[in-house]
Amino acid sequence: MTAPLAAAVVAVTVAAGGCTPPRPAYCEDLEAWNSLSSLDAAIRAGDSSEIESQLEELDSLANSAPDEIRDDMLEISDTMAAVVELNSSSSDTSEDELKREQVNARLGRVIEHTTAVGSWAEEECGIRLD
């Protein structure tokens, strides 16, 4: 009677150990988008329609993010929109200088947010973001 019990325990242990939690659906969206490189390329090329498209996609991705990373994604999205807005401004007033300082401060913190999102993506999705 001990052998069948031991076999049952081993079978349950193997079955439980072989199960992995389901991959969050958001992983597919994040993997398809995967980086800020397309937005960066559009900014460098001065392609305003592609910039707008990339910002909309990033905003949509941020708003649909899981609770664990939604604030990080929203901050990344908002900061990138602020960078684009600032770069498209042709004026150079003291108000613009203040905006530049604020955007630069936000850019300094974006690393923390992208690191958090990258860690979540590796742990939950098994993907590495660029």
Domain boundaries, the chain: 23-125
Dump pLDDT digits (tens) for 52-84. Answer: 999 999 999 999 999 999 999 999 999 999 989
Say which residues have a Cβ less than 8 Å from residue 87's Cβ, sequence separation at least 6.
43
Q: Is the pLDDT of residue 109 over 60?
A: yes
The tokens 């993997």 sit on which residue? 31
pLDDT at 20: 63
DSSP string, 56-80: HHHHHHHHTS-HHHHHHHHHHHHHH
pLDDT at 89: 74
Q: Is the pLDDT of residue 30 over 60?
A: yes
Q: Is the pLDDT of residue 16 over 60?
A: no
